[in-house]
Amino acid sequence: MIAAVVNGLAIVLGAVLGVFLKKGLPERVRTVLTAGMGLGTMLIGLRGAVRTESELMLLLSLILGGALGALIGIEKGLSRFGDRIQARFAAGGGEQDIGRAFVSATLIFCVGSMAIVGSLNAGLRGEYGTIFAKSLIDGVMSIVLASTMGIGVALSGAAVFIYQGAITLLAGLLKPVLTDRAVLEMSAVGGLLIMGIGLNMIRDRHLPVGDLLPSMFLPLVLVPLMG
């Protein structure tokens, strides 16, 4: 669990620093930085998505996982949580600001292959190198995100701790189905979700990426079924 703690703290500290930097950035600069972050995020996602060995499995994962996520209401739940924090602690900036920042940052930090593979390595082999490297990357990214989106980015540190900590603890139970192929396809689906996050950062129409989160774990079932 120490790796998950370090990752969460890196995000919180980076976000706090980013909020202080935000005060000295003109609006036009924040707009350009947000666009740049969005495009860069899409590239990161694309590099992960093209690694899939089965486009059919990728599509089935997105369809079935998206339907499940929509029925559960993951996106709405994340947004409601962010809005509650906004109503309680924020002193201005609009109710949607902190909620959108929390949801976007949480998805960016959680759906990448490093989050999955690093947490599995920590749980199965006690190897923390991947997560520590991810912590450094996330810390830098949280500075940039918070400088444009606000303090809501810091809240994602708790979500990352819970998410990666859960994968680490469950790694032993999931070991029988965690083949290299399954992890590869999970990472590919995660890459597509990261591309969706990048699109949300640069356009007004919002893609419900949160509802697609269950898609990442469907390869655990589909890989054995589809060979």
The tens digit of pLDDT for each residue in 164-211 reads 999 888 877 777 777 888 888 888 888 888 888 788 878 766 788 888
pLDDT digits (tens, 9 = 90+) for 1-31: 788 899 999 999 999 998 888 776 677 777 7
Mean pLDDT of the chain: 82
With a CB cutoff of 8 Å and minimum separation 6, the contacts of 35 are 201, 202
Mean pLDDT of 124-139: 82
Distance in Å from the first CA to the final CA of the chain: 33
On the question of pLDDT at 95 being above 60, the answer is: no
Residue type at position 168: T
Mean pLDDT of 90-109: 69
For residue 134, CA distances in Å to 31, 43, 114, 141 come to 26, 17, 7, 10
d(CA 46, CA 154): 26
Confidence of residue 140 (pLDDT cuts 50, 70, 90): confident
Return the structure tokens found at 201. 């950062």
What is the percentage of the chain residues whose pLDDT exceeds 90?
Answer: 17
d(CA 198, CA 43): 9
Return the structure tokens found at 20. 């202080």
Could you tell me the residue range of the domain that residue 102 belongs to?
A: 2-226
d(CA 34, CA 178): 36
Return the structure tokens found at 109. 């930090």
d(CA 81, CA 152): 11
* Residue 86: per-residue pLDDT: 65
Return the structure tokens found at 65. 């996982």
d(CA 171, CA 147): 35
Q: Which of 11-20, 92-101, 215-224 has the lowest mean pLDDT?
A: 92-101
* Residue 94: per-residue pLDDT: 47
d(CA 18, CA 24): 10
Number of domains in the chain: 1
